[in-house]
Amino acid sequence: MSDPKSTAYQELIDTWREASLLGSCGAVLGWDERTFMPPAAAAHRAAQTALLARLGHGMVTSQRVGELLENLHEAPLGEAETANVREMRRVHDRAVKMPSSLVEELARVTSEAQGIWQQAKEGNDFPKFQPWLEKILELKRQEASCVGYAGSPYDALVDEFEPGATAKSIRALFSDLAKQLNPLVAAITQRMPKSKVDLSRREFPVAIQEKLCRDIAAAIGFDFNAGRLDTTAHPFCTGIGPGDCRILTRYHANRPLESFFGTLHEAGHGLYEQGLPKEHFGTPLGVAASFGVHESQSRLWENQVGRSRDFWDGYGPKFQAAFAPVIDDVSVEDLWLSTNLVRPSLIRIDADEVTYNLQIILRFELEVALMEGQLKVADLPGAWNDRFKQLFGLVVPSDAKGCLQDIHWSFGGIGYFPTYTLGNLLSAQFLETATTDLPGLFDDIRRGQFARLTDWLRTNIHCHGQRYRPDELCARVTGRPLSSEPFLKYVRTKFAAWCK
């Protein structure tokens, strides 16, 4: 280790690991905040979290880290080390370009704006939220100009969630998708029958739902010795560190499929976290590739596997038996139909897997126009409603059910929405490759055997962390760049009976 390059690399890694440990302490506090923390602890928790964030930020933006990265510039490093340095530099450079006054102002404004957004949504009062969104956009434009960009200011923001993605690259992908989805949605909506049963009129004991959720998470490979499943109002997954991944779901006595698919979704995220290489914890090689790749893992299990006909042919009778006699009269066909109905709807989080992408395309177009200044915030409700009518054929009855429905803009998450659809497209492209690599995969799925698929995901995706940029990862795994084609093919095949 006398080589100054390797000494510099080791010092950089040691610092990064310490900053990551602070981050993982923050993740434990964040999990507790959304599960068991008493409400009166909110102010104290905010102070704890802010201190950890400040200490971690100070470590990765320090002058010393800048010098170490500089020392390693063009150093002959191995593939793994090169990837680590590339990603540490990306994080460091972005952070040091942001003046601390802007970071603090963004934290202050978005923290207050989330409360205002909540009130505005509840009161269907867009003008109340309008000045806050204007302020957030102004700050995000400042952020973009500090970080720098070549094309659109939006590029500087989306890069934080999806390294390498730009407004232009996403627009190319999404415009093709929208063009092809529109006639498909129209055809399926017209012909696909509703399930003959309405599960929401029946009672499904929560204790049984809980058992099924735990069983299905374990069946796809979620390791309960290294993770937990708990209950929360807003389900999520948080990877705290090696051997500790927490997933959360919610239960409703009349909606057993909500907890079931919610758990499959979060367990898909959880498998990714549990599959990251433990020896690289605290360095980019131990971190998921991007938000879009993370979402591809949850949606692959929730939709591509969990909503498939093969899955329900095998699992449906077990699901019925668990709740007997509540749904003894329901056929597997009807169970499958009730998990798959494609219909335009107002609310993103209730949308089916096909129309969901149109929801995202709408938000992407509007947030780019807002960032680039082509759309004024005052005109957002009108623009939303017009585009919604074009895409879905529906009249938006209120801003609460329109442009005020999502929390994302209020916390400054501009550039976040596209990662949901990128996740859908990636999941289809990954599964298409897995199906070729693993003959008889859907026979396994019908039999409730998921190990071959889980192993495939581990060796092709999870174990790499950030070794490859998201676009590189996609090309390496599937042999070609990301496109909407595998997803469209999946939709056309799955809904073939109602597509033509």
Please identify, using beta-carbon distances, which residue of 106 and 351 lies nearer to Zn ion.
Answer: 351
The least distance separating Zn ion from the CB of residue 421, rounded to whole angstroms, comes to: 12
Count CA atoms closer than 13 A to 342's CA, side-chain side.
Answer: 29
Q: Does residue 263 belong to the site contacting Zn ion (CB under 5 A)? A: no
Strand 227-231 to strand 244-249: parallel, antiparallel, or no bridges (unpaired)? parallel
48: Cβ–Cβ under 8 A, 6 or more apart, which residues?
29
Q: Which two tokens stand for residue 415?
A: 């550039």
Q: Which is nearer to Zn ion, 110 or 298 (CB)?
A: 298
Shortest approach of Zn ion to residue 161 CB, angstroms?
A: 13
Question: Using alpha carbons only, what angle is made at residue 155 by residues 269 and 115, rounded to the nearest 5 degrees?
Answer: 65
- Find the helix or strand (DSSP H, E) in which 385 lies: helix 380-392
Binders of Zn ion among residues 108 to 137 (CB under 5 A) are: none
Task: Pick the closer one to Zn ion by CB: 84 or 304.
Answer: 304
Collapsing DSSP to helix, strand or coil, 324 comes out as coil
Question: By CB under 5 A, is residue 296 in contact with Zn ion?
Answer: no
Please report how close the Cβ of residue 265 comes to Zn ion at its closest, in angstroms.
6
CB of 307 to Zn ion, least distance (A): 15
Tell me how far, at minimum, the Cβ of 295 lies from Zn ion, in Å: 5
Please enumerate in sequence order all residues whose Cβ is within 8 A of that of 428, keeping only pairs 6 or more positions apart, or say none. Answer: 304, 486, 487, 489, 490
Q: Considering only 2-10, 126-134, 292-300, 371-379, which stretch makes contact with Zn ion by CB under 5 A?
A: 292-300
Residue of minimal Cβ distance to Zn ion? 298
Nearest CB to Zn ion, comparing residues 269 and 280? 269
By C-beta, is 201 or 234 nearer to Zn ion?
A: 234
- Specify the residue for token string 């298409």: 432
What is the phi/psi pair of residue 177, to 5°?
Answer: -60, -45
Q: Which residues contact 405 (CB under 8 A, 6 or more apart)?
A: 121, 346, 347, 348
CA 308 to chain centre: 21
List the catalytic residues.
266
Task: List the one residue out of 403, 392, 469, 489 whose CA is nearest residue 177.
Answer: 489
The least distance separating Zn ion from the CB of residue 314, rounded to whole angstroms, comes to: 25
Span near Zn ion by CB under 5 A; candidates 72-80, 294-302, 315-323, 459-467: 294-302
Region 321-380 residues binding Zn ion, contact defined as CB under 5 A? none
Q: Which CB, 27 or 146, lies closer to Zn ion?
A: 27
Distance of closest approach, residue 427 Cβ to Zn ion, in angstroms: 11
Which amino acid is present at 280?
Answer: H
Please identify, using beta-carbon distances, which residue of 143 and 295 lies nearer to Zn ion.
Answer: 295
Of 107-115, 133-141, 221-229, 297-305, which part binds Zn ion (CB under 5 A)? 297-305
Query: What's the min distance (Å) between Cβ of 269 and Zn ion?
Result: 6
Residue 442: CB atoms within 10 Å: 18
Applying CB under 5 A, the span of 167-175, 200-208, 293-301, 406-414 interacting with Zn ion comes to 293-301
Toward Zn ion, which CB reaches closer, 385 or 429? 429
Determine the Cα–Cα distance for residues 174 and 393; give it in Å rounded to an integer. Answer: 19
Stretch that binds Zn ion, among 9-17, 30-38, 276-284, 296-304 (CB under 5 A): 296-304
Task: Please report the DSSP string for 104-129 in residue order.
Answer: HHHHHHHHHHHHHHHHHHHTT-HHHH
- Smallest distance from Zn ion to CB 352, Å: 16
Q: 296 or 320, CB closer to Zn ion?
A: 296
Does 298 contact Zn ion by CB under 5 A? yes
Residue among 20 and 298 whose Cβ is closer to Zn ion: 298
Q: Give which of 242, 260, 436 is closest to 339, Cα–Cα.
A: 260
x/- letters, 422..461, toward Zn ion (CB under 5 A): ----------------------------------------
What would the two tokens of residue 34 be? Answer: 């959304």
* Size, binding site for Zn ion by CB under 5 A: 1
The count of other CB atoms within 10 Å of the CB of residue 40 is 7
**Could you tell me the two tokens for 156?**
């500087």
What lies within 8 Å, CB to CB, of 294 at 6+ separation is: 269, 272, 288, 419, 423
Q: Say if residue 325 is preceded by a cis peptide, omega within 30 of 0.
A: yes
Report d(CA 495, CA 487) in Å as an integer.
Answer: 12
183: helix, strand or coil: helix
> Is beta strand 244-249 parallel, antiparallel or unpaired with respect to 237-241?
antiparallel
* Piece of 15-23, 124-132, 290-298, 378-386 that binds Zn ion (CB under 5 A): 290-298
Q: How far is the CB of 80 from Zn ion (least distance, A)?
A: 28
**For the chain, percent helix, then strand, then coil, each to nearest 5?**
70, 5, 25
Nearest CA-CA partner of 142 in 92, 89, 97: 97
Please give the structure tokens belonging to residue 127.
């003008």
Q: Candidates 74-82, 164-172, 239-247, 295-303 — which segment interacts with Zn ion by CB under 5 A?
A: 295-303
Binding site for Zn ion (CB under 5 A): 298
